Amino acid sequence: MQNTTDFIAACSTWPRTANSLQRINQCIQAVDDWDSVFKSVLHHRVVALVHSAIEPHKDAIPEKFRLELKEKALLVTVQSMMQAKETVRLHAQFIAAGIDAVQFKGASLGQMAYGSIALKSASDIDIYVPPVQAIYAIELMEQQGYRYKLTSKKMPMALKKSLMQLKKDAPMLDKRGHQVELHWKFSGFPGLLTELEKSYSTTTVDIDRFGSVQTMERIDLFTYLCVHGAVHNWHRLKWLADFNAFMSHMSMEEKVQAMDYAAKKGAGVAVSQAMQLCAIYFHTPLPEFGWLDTKALVSISCKRIEQSAKPQTRQGKFLSYVKNFTVHWRLFKPASKAVGLLYPRLVSTVDIILIPLPRFLHWVYPVIRVPLFLIRRGAALLKALIG
């Protein structure tokens, strides 16, 4: 898998330079299983980046791989354009309604990182609104034809309130296939990015021919991207590639300022991990800084990146769950704050939908999670047997 990952990382390096093009050529020579490369490219969601990178080297790459990748890259571009159009449309609706919506990741990040929406893959549109406006924002989304993904219906007020208090976002779908994650928190873990939620600055980004939206200032988005990748253990190179491209527009001095700012927001560990991973996979020069010891985190992420495209057994999924918990534990400084990690894992969204409880009864969710899970599994097995 090492040759596969090296090739994908080389192709995902941005901006392209003489050194990176030479590295791509060297990695091509080392690839011995193009079917495995194709599957990994799809898993890491860097189709458009890899497709654009291999054009100068197409004679050295099997035609089957090139044609299949070209087809997938075209789909990514079309999807990116559709999402960009919807992002701008929704942003205008939010602003007109007086909601302080901020677009992040997706089209706005693609524009900031690559100067184009065509190279960034995204499965949904991410919008952040202040918690006090979250219910109003959900209602506006429902007026626009969106429904909560897990029920396909309008949400009753009790469910909206429970989700707001217990979860970080609401995934919503419309009939055209657009998916929006409406956030009122930047992280599902208490203590992570809380300081960023209290205070962040915004800037305007013009998205390729579609219009403009508000997003976070570069220094705030830098902090968010580091934590988002760390929470997901950077198991898709897409997140790291986007962060590296985003960071390429910053001088060494600006990087140091952003790292110091992120550390003050409680994201010092995540930033150290992200920067060192960029150095490993994209050969990104690192500024001189008081680096935190993240060797264990970096090692875990490297192994996850290498192995993430492989099918997982039940045992493998359980081990990944344990490793992810270990990663999340290490992200908290001081470690005593990591106790908050347990609660999000003990509250099931399915249970909230089934029984939306008032706030003073939220302690019940961890108690009923296992019994309700066993009831659902038993009902499913019984239905399968009868059917």
Which SS3 state, helix, strand or coil, does residue 9 take? helix
CATH no., domain 2-343: 3.30.460.40
Look at residue 317 in the predicted model and tell me its pLDDT.
56
Which pLDDT tens digit goes with each residue over 213-262?
999 999 999 999 999 999 888 989 999 999 999 999 999 999 999 999 99
Dump strand ranges (E) for 120-210.
125-128, 147-148, 169-173, 179-183, 202-207
Q: Are residues 240 and 113 in contact, defined by beta-carbon separation less than 8 angstroms?
A: no
Q: Whole-angstrom Cα distance, residue 77 to residue 69?
A: 12
Residue numbers of the chain with a pLDDT score lower than 70? 1, 290, 308-330, 332-342, 387
Q: Whole-angstrom Cα distance, residue 182 to residue 101?
A: 10
Alpha-carbon dihedral sign for residues 118, 120, 121, 127? negative
Q: Whole-angstrom Cα distance, residue 138 to residue 30?
A: 50
Q: Whole-angstrom Cα distance, residue 173 to residue 146?
A: 5
Both tokens assigned to 85: 């159009």
Residues 6+ apart with CB under 8 A from 332: 191, 192, 269, 338, 340, 341
Look at residue 325 in the predicted model and tell me its pLDDT.
64
Look at residue 387 in the predicted model and tell me its pLDDT.
65
**What letters, b where the CB count within 10 A reaches 16 and e where it falls short, cover 279-295?**
eebbebeebeeeebebe
Look at residue 334 in the predicted model and tell me its pLDDT.
54
Residue 68, Cβ density class (10 Å: 0-12 exposed, 13-18 middle, ≥19 buried): middle
Q: Whole-angstrom Cα distance, residue 213 to residue 107?
A: 10
Look at residue 341 in the predicted model and tell me its pLDDT.
64
Q: Whole-angstrom Cα distance, residue 344 to residue 366?
A: 9
- DSSP labels for 274-291? HHHHHHHHH-PPPPP---
Tokens 């219009």 belong to residue:
211
Look at residue 265 in the predicted model and tell me its pLDDT.
87
- pTM for the full model? 0.90
Which pLDDT tens digit goes with each residue over 18-41?
998 999 999 999 998 999 999 999
Closest CA to 130 of 164, 153, 107, 105: 164
Closest CA to 269 of 306, 309, 300: 300
Look at residue 339 in the predicted model and tell me its pLDDT.
59
